[in-house]
Amino acid sequence: MSDIFDNIILCKNCGKKMKLLTIEKNGFHLRTVKCENCRNQIIHPEDLKEYEDFQNLKKKSFQVKLRYVGNSYAVSIPREIIDFMNEQEKQMDEMVNLCMEDFGRLSLNFKW
């Protein structure tokens, strides 16, 4: 199936051919077409949906329980988060980087 952005898109205001470009927003690369005449801009619907899904996920706060496992403590990362990241990057590393970011705050960094 061909992508809509593979086609020539004309600006609805000026009828001029829109230019393909990629914009970056919070680490997301969004495929975009832009009219150089009136600055009308359209973000690829798939990329826009992904970005909105991310914004919604970002708003959420999860209550997870601290469990004692062996000699360490473990928390469960909600599947919703992992699923979202796997959709973005396909293959996620099982090893994550954990560090104390601030007092009372841990930071978890995923790798691909």
Give the interface with Zn ion as residue ranges (CB under 5 A).
11, 13-14, 35, 37-38, 40
Shortest Å distance, C-beta 9 to Zn ion: 11
Considering the complex, state which of residue 36 and residue 83 has its C-beta at the smaller distance from Zn ion. Answer: 36
Shortest Å distance, C-beta 42 to Zn ion: 11
Provide CB contacts within 8 A for 27, sequence distance 6+: none
Considering the complex, state which of residue 33 and residue 35 has its C-beta at the smaller distance from Zn ion. Answer: 35
What CA–CA distance (Å, rounded) separates 18 from 7? 10
Shortest Å distance, C-beta 41 to Zn ion: 10
Q: Which of 2, 53, 1, 3 is nearest to 33 (CA)?
A: 3
Question: CA dist 63 to 66, 75, 77, Å?
Answer: 10, 10, 10
